[in-house]
Amino acid sequence: MHVVAIYNNKGGEGKSTVTVGLAEFLAANRGKKVLVIDLDAQASSSCALLGHKSLNAAIDEGRTVVELAAYLRRSRRPIVECSKYLTWRAGAEARGAALEEIALLVPDGDRMFDVEDSMRWGQHNHLFLEHLKPALTEFDFVLIDLPSNVTKASMISVNGLAMADFVVVPTRSTHISLNGLPRTFSLIDQVRDVSGTGRPAVLGFLLNATNKTHQQYRSIVKPVVEASTDGSLPPFFKNHWTPSPALEAATDEDRDARTLKERFGAGYDRARLVARELETACDKFEFQPVKPVSRSIWERLGLA
- Which CATH number fits the domain that encloses residue 174? 3.40.50.300
The Cα 259–Cα 223 span in angstroms is 38
Task: Please list the residues that pair with 88 across neighbouring strands.
Answer: 103
Q: Residue 270 — pLDDT band, cuts 50, 70, 90?
A: very high
Cα dihedral 269, 271, 274, 280 sign: negative
Q: Is the pLDDT of residue 200 over 80?
A: yes
The Cα 225–Cα 231 span in angstroms is 10
147 preceded by a cis bond (ω within 30 of 0) = no
Would you state the pLDDT for residue 110? 83
The Cα 17–Cα 23 span in angstroms is 10
Q: What is the DSSP letter of 296?
A: H
Q: Is the pLDDT of residue 248 over 90?
A: no
Whole-structure pTM over 0.85, yes or no? yes
Could you give the number of structural domains in the chain? 1
What percent of the chain has a predicted confidence (pLDDT) above 70?
A: 99
Q: Is the pLDDT of residue 193 over 90?
A: no
The more confident residue out of 275 and 245 is: 275
What range does the domain containing 23 cover? 2-300
Q: Is the pLDDT of residue 245 over 90?
A: no
Q: How far is CA 261 from CA 23, 29, 233, 270, 297, in A?
A: 14, 11, 34, 11, 41
The Cα 175–Cα 179 span in angstroms is 6
Compute how many other C-beta atoms are within 10 angstroms of the C-beta atom of residue 282: 18
Largest CA distance in the chain: 55
